[in-house]
Structure 1
């Protein structure tokens, strides 16, 4: 599957927004009495997976350079 630069940028934007929202939610849960450790762990794991996906898409934007 080949994606255009525009599609990659759209996916990066969506993933970045989801990553930011998860970060805010995790921070809120940790700071309040609504601490559900399993929920926080799942959210942190999802956040890490999103970060990995962001790195893959960012790498797709870097042009190949012939050595």
Structure 2
């Protein structure tokens, strides 16, 4: 799997977690611990996305 593909997959999962958090927060019956766990997973994904972005070589203008 290329770094670009891996990055796209991580970003897709991040968006899915963002949506799940929004939906859970909108439900009055949602468990606070579930929302906290979703937010923790989202943060871990964000950190992984940043690490992958740092390893992708920058294009040169030559």
Query: Normalized against structure 2, the TM-score is what?
Result: 0.85
Unaligned runs of 5+ in 1: 1-5
Kindly provide the CA deviation profile for residues 32-66 of structure 1, in whole angstroms up to 9, marking residues without a partner as x.
Answer: 12311111111100000000000000000135xxx
Unaligned runs of 5+ in 2: none
Runs of 4+ with >6 A deviation: none
What is the number of residues matched between the two proteins?
58
Query: Normalized against structure 1, the TM-score is what?
Result: 0.79
CA RMSD of aligned residues (A): 1.3
